[in-house]
Amino acid sequence: MSSRTARRPWIRRLATALAGGGLLVSLAAPALAAPSAPPAPPAPTLAAPDIPLANVKAHLSQLQSLATANGGNRAHGRAGYRASIDYIKAKLDAAGYTTTLQPFTSNGATGWNLIADWPGGDPNQVLMAGAHLDSVTSGPGINDNGSGSAAILETALAVSREGLNPEQHLRFGWWGAEELGLVGSRNYVNSLSTTERAKFSGYLNFDMIGSPNPGYFVYDDDTQLEKVFKDWYASKGISTEIETEGDGRSDHSNFKNAGIPVGGLFTGASRTKTTAQAQKWGGTAGQAFDRCYHSSCDTTSNINDTALDRNSDAIAHAVWTLGAGTGTPPPDGTTFENTADVAVPDRGAAVESPVTVTGRTGNAPANLQVGVDIKHTWRGDLVVDLVAPDGTAYRLKSYSSSDSADNVIATYTVDASSETANGTWKLRVQDQVANDTGYIDSWKLVF
């Protein structure tokens, strides 16, 4: 399984569901075939809550006030930017996030990125949503990019309100100095080690998502991330187009260049809406998506509420859907084995052979392979269970009065996805009928 695929447990969960979870038996010989379990339904993911437009707009009003109180903008190196960062950081600290201010210098001035981690989730599966918080010097930058900044802030606050406990680790970022050339996000990506970059399952970018004459554009850089947004919009009866302004136009480019899957949404800037686009989206053909792009009129009146509301809800949907993962790493063939012989008392108490699993993350897979080698005459006497570290027993083989063949040499498939992978697993064997004897020769777990 490619490392890229490994970053997306949600693909594997679907594949597992299609393959059918539950206990399947493939035996070396002779066949003890068990009926294959019906395909298990995909695990239901939690539905995201509605993101209240009023809350998002309240953040925009705050950002507008901060610009007005600080020279009319929130640009890199200006007081309005630092005031914007402090506003957002205070909201996140109060909501239980672990926040970090990451300073950097550009054009001789200090800027900051704000990184907010939601505690929990698999540290090896990081899903990040980001938006640049800086404006140009000519205006308050409410659509560009208060809109993206406010929408991901309110999504982060919704995660806290809901007490979401996603499988993946959620991280949010607000970037400085995007308008100077994607500077802040480049500083952040450059600060990540190769190992840290490999832990990202995706980066979602939101730069201008409330344009007054909006289009509905979806980044087409990564097909899975694109699909999450396109399917959501389709479910609302809204058609979308791919964002065609090309790479390098916003902060996702730095993540993409680092090999991280990226996605995002955009409602348009200075380009002109076509007649065809106006027919499907409404608005005014022949007019720019945002006539106040990089201008002093990019104020709170430069927002289309419907577009901002829809995109805020689409962001929450993506975070809930993509973050839910299963936290179960994909099968990689790692094997843990015990070859010590353990005698099985004739018509006696059950015996156990332990295997200690270490170094795994998250849960055991839905198709955990259990290789068993038990030397025993008239194997029908035997009952064989796999016991998880928490004591949960999974029946591998039941007693059979008619199975007179010798030895149990078999591979069983167990849906152990609800079990923590690390810990001491046991093979439990009991001989329930007198006069045939044997022993556990070896057994193993293959992840």
CB of 187 to Zn ion, least distance (A): 17
- How far is residue 59's CA from residue 69's CA, in Å, rounded to a whole number? 15
Q: Kindly tell me which of 212 and 329 has the beta carbon lying closer to ligand DTR.
A: 212
Q: Where are the alpha helices (DSSP H) in 216-375?
A: 223-235, 252-257, 275-281, 305-324
Give yes or no for a contact between 150 and 56, defined as CB atoms under 8 angstroms apart. yes
CB of 38 to Zn ion, least distance (A): 49
Binding site partner of 167, from Zn ion, ligand DTR, Ca ion, none, Cβ cut-off 5-8 A by kind:
none
Instruction: Report how many residues bind ligand DTR under the rule CB under 6 A.
Output: 12
Binding site partner of 394, from ligand DTR, Zn ion, Ca ion, none, Cβ cut-off 5-8 A by kind:
none
Binding site partner of 221, from Ca ion, Zn ion, ligand DTR, none, Cβ cut-off 5-8 A by kind:
none
Q: Of these residues, 154, 167, 178, 419, which one is catalytic?
A: 178
- Binding window for ligand DTR (CB under 6 A); candidates: 37-45, 243-251, 296-304, 362-370: 243-251
Q: Where are the alpha helices (DSSP H) in 202-331?
A: 223-235, 252-257, 275-281, 305-324
Amino acid at 241: E
Note if 419 is an active site residue.
Answer: no
Is residue 144 near ligand DTR by the rule CB under 6 A? yes
Give yes or no for a contact between 337 and 443, defined as CB atoms under 8 angstroms apart. yes
**β-pairing, 217-218 with 241-242?**
parallel
- How far is residue 312's CA from residue 214's CA, in Å, rounded to a whole number? 14
CB of 248 to Zn ion, least distance (A): 13
Is residue 147 near ligand DTR by the rule CB under 6 A? no
CB of 152 to Ca ion, least distance (A): 14
- Binding window for ligand DTR (CB under 6 A); candidates: 191-199, 220-228, 242-250, 355-363: 242-250
Q: Kindly tell me which of 249 and 347 has the beta carbon lying closer to ligand DTR.
A: 249
Q: Kindly tell me which of 144 and 431 has the beta carbon lying closer to ligand DTR.
A: 144
- Among left, alpha and beta (phi > 0; psi -120 to 50; other), residue 13 is alpha
Is residue 50 near Ca ion by the rule CB under 5 A? yes
Provide φ and ψ at 446, rounded to 5°: -120, 120
Chain positions 303 to 332 lying near Ca ion, rule: CB under 5 A, are: 309, 313
Chain positions 179 to 198 lying near ligand DTR, rule: CB under 6 A, are: 179
Provide φ and ψ at 56, rounded to 5°: -65, -45
Is residue 243 near ligand DTR by the rule CB under 6 A? yes
Provide φ and ψ at 336, rounded to 5°: -125, 125
Is residue 144 near Zn ion by the rule CB under 5 A? yes
The one among 154, 207, 385, 419 contacting Zn ion by CB under 5 A: 207
Crossing angle of the two packed helices 79-94 and 53-68, in degrees rounded to 10: 150
**β-pairing, 168-175 with 122-132?**
parallel
- Residue 420 CB neighbour total at 10 angstroms: 15
Q: How long, in residues, is the chain?
A: 447
- How far is residue 247's CA from residue 426's CA, in Å, rounded to a whole number? 52
Crossing angle of the two packed helices 53-68 and 148-162, in degrees rounded to 10: 130
Here's the x/- map for ligand DTR, 254-283, by CB under 6 A: it reads as: ------------x--x--------------
- Residues in touch with Zn ion (CB under 5 A): 144-145, 207
Residues that bind Ca ion (CB under 5 A): 50-51, 309, 313
Footprint on this chain of ligand DTR (rule: CB under 6 A): 144-145, 178-179, 207-208, 243, 245, 249-250, 266, 269
Q: Annotated catalytic sites, by residue?
A: 178
